[in-house]
Amino acid sequence: MSMDALRFEFAIADFDLGLLPVDASVLKGNPDILRESIEGYLGDCFKRVGGEANIVARGDAVSVTWTPFAVSDFDNLKRHALALLKEGAAAQARPIIETLLKRGKPDSDLALNYGMVLSDLGYAADAAELLERLAKTEPGNASAWNALGVAYWKLERLDDAGLALERAYALAPGDGHVLKNHGALLLKKSPADALPILSEAVRLLP
């Protein structure tokens, strides 16, 4: 039985041409071939994900109306989008992830992973906004506070970063990643306090 359809829209100008099988120099001079190639690429992606996808490339955008057939299709789509993000194809991943985050029950795992990857890719402000909402919704989520602290650090909001990382440390004093980030930031203010924390992080992390 099918479920409610979701709609994603991708800007053709932002599409990563490296994902397509046709040489980029050919695609740039042939908008019709470009649109056809994007439709074909997305069609193959959604076949692997599951469900049914209607893909239309017109003008400057490609729209996808996707109808999942099973709960597992959502998991497949989430994994596909996060993989795209980690490969640096943020323009293709963001419409999918942001639509998934808006549907139904909040997905803290998706929000956390999305926030961390956005931060790694240089979208620290977007990451901080998303992770702030997650930390507010789940104040006991140490990983959310840890990732939020890192995003603040990248934005040079060091006081906010310190508070977030202290919160993460209070919640998960035995988490090596939390210790590493908390200790690294603390090192700037109090090396004597930071060194034991960093030593423990080294012991815990592979």
pLDDT tens, 151-176?
999 999 999 999 999 999 999 999 99
Residue 65 pLDDT greater than 70, yes or no = yes
Beta strands in the chain (DSSP E): 6-11, 52-58, 61-67
pLDDT per position as a tens digit, 99-134: 998 876 678 989 998 999 889 888 999 999 999 999
| pTM as predicted | 0.78
> Which range, of 36-40, 64-68, 91-95, averages the lowest pLDDT?
91-95
Confidence of residue 25 (pLDDT cuts 50, 70, 90): confident
* Confidence at residue 1, expressed as pLDDT on a 0 to 100 scale: 43
Tell which wins on pLDDT, 105 or 29: 29
Residue 206 pLDDT greater than 90, yes or no = no
Question: Contacts by 158-164 with C-beta closer than 8 Å and gap 24+?
Answer: 158/185, 158/188, 161/185, 162/186, 162/189, 164/135
Among candidate residues 165, 171, 129, the one with its CA nearest the CA of residue 147: 165
